[in-house]
Structure 1
Amino acid sequence: MNSLAPAPTLSPDQADAWDSLAETFGAAGIDIIAEEVQPAEPGKGRVMAVIGKAGSGKTLMLSMITKALLASGVDLISPDYEGRKRKDRRSVAILAPTNKAAFVLRMRGVPATTIHRILYTPVYDPQYEKIAEWLTGTGERPVIEGLTDVALDRAKAFYDQHASIPGALANAGLRGSDFIRGWTRREEGLDVGLIDEASMLDEKQFEDLREIFPVLVLFGDPAQLAPVGQSGAMVFDRLAAPQRLILNRIHRQADDNPILDLAHALSDDRLGFDEFESMIRAAARKDDRVVWAERVESDLMSRSPVLVWRNATRIRLIHAFRTAFGAPGDALLPGEPLICDGLELPLKHRKKRIDLEARGLIKGAQVVYLGPGRKPGFSRLHVIGAEDPRLSAASIVKIEMPDEDEPFIPYAARMGAAFLHGAAVTIHKAQGSQWPQVQVFGPDISAAAWSNRAEAGVQLWKRLAYVAITRAQERLFWITKARLARPSGPLGTADLTADAAPLALENDEA
């Protein structure tokens, strides 16, 4: 047995899942026990799913499977640079549907990136491709005109610590426009794909992933909300029983987590909404990680949106937030949060779309406005959770107003990235994200309970409550009234510096 063999640290359900995955990888020529790999064979493909609720150990399983695959000699596919493909190479990519979901995994030591970053690959200037080959261990130390040995040493030291090609080149004093000539959509398939937050996948994404990865392992939570338009069903629901590896045991920290306790109480069919709120109130009296709050904290909204069910609630809270911070009627303040609502670019600008999406500006991305760009209609932006978070892009910002059909538009380029305000978001859009502190607007959950709606046989209010409260990593605020606390100070962007520093690139305006 090798030193990475995880059996002693896994619960019985996790050990069973591990054995099934080891058998799946073995059939595909990857032996994670003997740490040996064989060349891929055509037709050796399968989809598996590791399914469990919050706290069941899905992330632990994902992390340990990743380590075992890498220890077996499987190459990690980086979104930055892949280099020349070896004939006998086996590969793995760890992916999530959103920037924030990938960021959460990276903070836990799992080298994840977004699905978009693997669908698109950078095209490097040939001169700088030599640096990338050297950093990844497939080439000799290059001699580049204008780049000193000291700069190369800085790049190498950074890469050894962070494994990011763009970050390493930025540390050597280079901008993205110096070494990335564009982005291209992937054509060649890969080997193994490990997909987190699989409950968020729609049918099209699932089929795209199956085309790329012969061996696909989905990690998902059956209690979350399914993508809109899928009637409560998730892509892993249709898999055969042997392909569905269920984690039933809930693993707690030594000091039980009251937020997870509340989440798992929702599985009781007899539990009503009023009884659930009583449980929240009781938890708040015992543990300060749960807060029974009669007003929304405006200070938290700039980085952690209030989670709501109804769009009308979202719009009213956004308007109250902007009013509280004294935002002008014709512009945004630096520090205001935005949500990317897609890219409005014609087909002839396909390369520009690929560039922006590959940098993290995909639909649903959380963004902070930093200020106007150098060109009219452009905005400087910080993409939360992106590996290279700073960029400038043509922007179409739409801020919906209460009781008005037309949104207020402070910035409107002819085409570019479209944004909605992000101080409050629907619970559906919050899936895949987590924040240290989360505010859930209780009156909206109550309205869902009164509606008597169900989704895939489960009361809608319970699905909404489960998803909303499990977004909280450290502290949950259950808001009971439509009131907003005054901010303690003005909006700012200083808190983003540390997050951006390691990988920020001085990108040209896009």
Structure 2
Amino acid sequence: MTETPKPLVQFSDDQAAAYDAVTDMLRQAGVDLDDGLLQPPRGEAGVMALVGKAGSGKTLLLAQLYKALADAGVDIVSGDYESRKKGERRTLAVLAPTNKAASVLRLRGVPATTIHRILYTPVYDPEYERIAEWLAGNGDKPEIEGLSEEALNRAVAFYEKNKSMPGALAAAGLRGSDFITGWKRREEPLDIGFVDESSMLDDRQFDDLKEIFPTLLLFGDPAQLAPVNQSGAMVFDALPDDRKLELKRVHRQDADNPILDLAHALADPQLEFHDFEQMIEDSARRDDRVVWGQRVEVDLMARSPVLVWRNATRIRLINAFRKVYGAPEDALMEGEPLICDGIELPLKHRKKRLDLEARGLIKGAQVIYLGPGRKPGFSRLHVMGAEDPQVSAASIVKIEMPDEEEPFIPYAARMGATFLHGAAVTIHKAQGSQWGTVQVFAPDLYAAARMGRVEAGQPLWKRLAYVAITRAEGRLIWVVRNRLSKPTSSLPVDDLRAAATPTLKLEAETE
């Protein structure tokens, strides 16, 4: 057997071994990367997991495997359009549990989508489906009444650059409600699935994915926090040893990354909380990527929430944030951050629920409020990390108050998408997200350390600290005092409006 050709990037020994093992798995599924031979799907290759701590190279491997499959001629399923003419062509879908996690991969050139977008498929209007088939290379250039040659050329240019079918049709001047008539649960299985941030999966999601993908590769970090309802276990923990690959060497340009150094120091069983804080303080003296913070920097909270452990801390910080910005008690200000807490719609509005979720309003989605919509109870929103981020939706916004059982609701429709304030979030909810700068509220982790709680054999404070600090892409602020700075400017929104695709609108009505 010829040796699997390696990508041009330089792999470590454990990365090369993992790449070979995945290549063998794909060969069993009929995809031979040695010679680019693609056979029709022929049964299951099953589930394999590739696990490793932050910086071990999981994302690099995922990106290289995606590129090798794409170069071999495997079609990429994005979740926004699937051709009916795929026949026995081999396909790959790259998935993440949240919009933010998917957007991290897209920034690295991997066309990822959310798990939800794969569970449900869009139904296209037959007239505009002809454009989609043409863009996908499965049909001749159509003639559509009302669409000029110039409009179709804009669609081609957009699709070639971004590989987003809704974005391409929007570039031609169409609205989402013109070409997407509804959504349906996937009826037929797909082929090969890669799932990033798989430590966030619960058993139900894992079962759904196994039904859809006969060949499934999970990428995950065993040091993160397991889903709340999983009793400390992650879905890949139960896989047999020969189906679980572990990367142990730390990379990520990596030798001089003080944030990763701190994250991996937490593996020392002798390390106590005060020792860890001393390490942070020492690191802050040497490197400006680590900051020993005396207060929460309020200017950062609108786009990068403060990470906390306790709900009571989260609520106090949110109310302090609103107070220092002078937010009115009975309304939201433009630029306030929100977190989607689910959809409150009766069963008869199933299509509207799917419309909202397909546009990124899934539980845990980070959203920026841009102002009231055209109808009472509607909000204009920017969904962070979504491919088409601007949406107008019926909204129920709940702002929790200190020492109050019931939240204050400054803005509400009778039913629709529900939101909590997002200036601070729990570390559990932050999993799968990354921000350029992250603020971690250290007094909460100290409280967890004093309680002595253990999760899956590891002190809880260490798991919390690991997840929290590895959310930081470039700078970590370890906040040691319960104080808030004053804002230096108003809440920003102009950059979000400028970045939006102005022609794509989906008015998710609930009346």
Which residue number in structure 1 is paired with residue 455 of structure 2? 455
Structure 2 partner of 1:297: 297
1:170-249 map, 5 Å: 170-249=170-249
1:154 has 2:143 as partner: no
Q: How does the TM-score come out when normalised to structure 2?
A: 0.97
Q: Which residue of 2 aligns with 1:94?
A: 94
Measure, in 1, the Cα distance between the counterparts of 2:147 and 2:9. 50
1: distance between equivalents of 2:233 and 2:368? Answer: 33
Structure 1 position 109, deviation (Å) = 1.1
Determine the C-alpha separation between the residues in 1 that align with 2:465 and 2:167: 39
- The equivalent of 1:20 in structure 2 is 21
Q: How big is the shift at 1:3?
A: 10
Q: Which residue of 2 aligns with 1:33?
A: 34
Equivalents in 1 of 2:105, 2:254: separation in Å? 22
2:505 corresponds to: 506
Q: Write the letter of the residue equivalent to 1:63.
A: A
2:277 match = 277
Deviations 1:222-252 (A, max 9, x none): 0000000212110000000000000001114
- The runs of 5 or more residues in structure 1 that have no matched partner are none
1:7 CA displacement: 8.1
**1:72: how far off?**
1.6
Q: Distance in 1 between matches of 2:239 and 2:231?
A: 17
Partner of 1:494: 494
Give the deviation of 1:86 after TM superposition: 3.1
Instruction: Give yes or no for contact 1:2–1:34 (8 Å, CA) kept in 2.
Output: no
C-alpha contact 1:7 1:15 (8 A) present in aligned 2: no
CA contact (8 A) 1:389 1:504 kept: no
Contact 2:81/2:165 (<8 A) preserved: yes
Structure 2 Cα separation of the partners of residues 394 and 4 of structure 1? 52
- Percent of pairs identical after alignment? 68
Aligned to 1:392: 392
Q: How does 1:157-168 map to 2 (within 5 A)?
A: 157-168=157-168
Deviations 1:375-411 (A, max 9, x none): 1111111110011111111111100001111110011
Given that 2:98 and 2:432 are in contact with CA atoms closer than 8 Å, whether structure 1 keeps it comes out as: yes
Q: Does the Cα contact within 8 Å between 1:340 and 1:417 map onto a contact in 2?
A: yes
- Residue 390 of structure 1 contacts residue 504 of structure 1 at CA under 8 Å; is this kept in 2? no
Question: Which aligned pairs between 1:69-468 and structure 2 lie closer than 5 A?
Answer: 69-253=69-253, 256-468=256-468
Q: Distance in 2 between matches of 1:83 and 1:2?
A: 35
Note the C-alpha offset of 1:476.
0.4
The SS at the match of 2:339 is: strand
Which residue identity lines up with residue 507 of structure 1 in the other structure?
L
- Structure 2 spans left out of the alignment, 5+ residues: none
Q: Secondary structure at the match of 1:343?
A: strand
User: How far 1:255 sits from its partner (Å)?
Assistant: 6.1
CA distance in 1, matches of 2:288, 2:8: 36
Give the 3-state SS of the residue equivalent to 2:229 in structure 1.
coil
State the match for 2:470 in structure 1: 470
Task: Report the CA distance between 1:2 and its aligned residue.
Answer: 9.7
- Secondary structure at 1:333's aligned position in 2? coil
**Preserved CA contact (<8 Å) 2:85 2:138:** no
Return 211-220 or 353-362, whichever deviates more.
Answer: 353-362
Higher mean Cα deviation, 377-386 or 314-323?
A: 377-386
Give, in whole Å, the separation in 2 of the partners of 1:262 and 1:458. Answer: 16
Q: AA paired with 1:508?
A: E
The whole-number CA distance in structure 1 between the counterparts of 2:157 and 2:296 is: 44
- How far off is 1:34 after superposition? 1.1
Distance in 2 (alpha carbons) for counterparts of 1:262 and 1:504: 45
Distance 1:58 1:76 in 2: 20
The DSSP-based 3-state class of the residue aligned with 2:228 is coil
Aligned in 2, Cα 1:417/1:462: closer, same or farther, shift over 3 Å?
Answer: same
* Structure 1 residue 492 displacement after superposition: 2.7
Measured in 1, the distance between the counterparts of 2:499 and 2:11 equals: 33
Partners of 2:438 and 2:124 lie apart in 1 by 40
Contact 1:259 1:290 in 2 (8 A): yes
- One-letter amino acid of the counterpart of residue 61, structure 1: L
How far apart are residue 494 of structure 1 and its match?
1.1
* Partner Cα distance (1:498, 1:263) in 2: 36
Distance of 1:133 and 1:416 partners within structure 2: 33
Aligned-residue offset at 1:262: 0.4
Q: How far does the alpha carbon of each residue in 1:443-463 deviate from its partner, in whole angstroms, 9 at most, with x for none?
A: 001000001000000000000
* CA distance in structure 2 between the aligned counterparts of 1:31 and 1:266, rounded to whole angstroms: 40
Conservation of the 8 A alpha-carbon contact between 1:310 and 1:444: yes
Q: Per the alignment, in what secondary structure is the counterpart of residue 9 of structure 1? A: coil
Distance in structure 1 (CA, Å) of the matches to 2:293 and 2:503? 37
Task: Note the C-alpha offset of 1:499.
Answer: 3.9
Measured after TM superposition, the shift of residue 509 of structure 1 is: 3.9
1:51 touches 1:247 (CA, 8 Å); kept in 2?
yes
Aligned length: 508
1:114-169 deviations in whole A, cap 9, x for unaligned?
00111111111111111101111111111111110011111111111111111111
For 2:443 and 2:478, locate their aligned partners in 1 and report how far apart those are by CA, in whole Å: 10
Change (3 A) 1:224 1:3: closer
Letter in 2 for 1:285: R
Q: Relative to structure 1, is the Cα distance of residues 390 and 152 closer, same or farther in structure 2, using a 3 angstrom cutoff? A: same
Counterpart amino acid of residue 125 in structure 1: D
Q: Do 2:4 and 2:20's aligned partners in 1 also have CA atoms closer than 8 Å?
A: no
SS in structure 2 at match of 1:261: helix
Q: Quick one: structure 1 residues 8 and 385, their matched pair in 2 at CA, closer, same or farther if it must change by over 3 Å?
A: closer
CA contact (8 A) 2:356 2:508 kept: no
Distance change (3 Å), C-alpha of 1:126 and 1:8: closer
Kindly indicate whether the alpha-carbon contact (under 8 Å) linking 1:388 and 1:504 is maintained by their aligned counterparts in 2: no
Q: Match for residue 50 of structure 1?
A: 50
C-alpha distance in 1 between matches for 2:498 and 2:243: 42
SS at structure 2 position matched to 1:296: coil
Quote the Cα distance in structure 2 between the aligned partners of 1:200 and 1:499. 29
**CA drift at 1:500:** 2.6
Distance 1:390 1:65, change over 3 A: same
* Residues in 2 aligned to 1:8 and 1:144: alpha-carbon distance in whole angstroms: 45
Q: Structure 1 residue 8: deviation in Å?
A: 6.9
- Tell me the C-alpha RMSD between the 2 structures: 1.4
Distance in 1 of aligned mates of 2:362 and 2:13: 39
Q: Is the 8 A contact 1:121 1:186 kept in 2?
A: yes
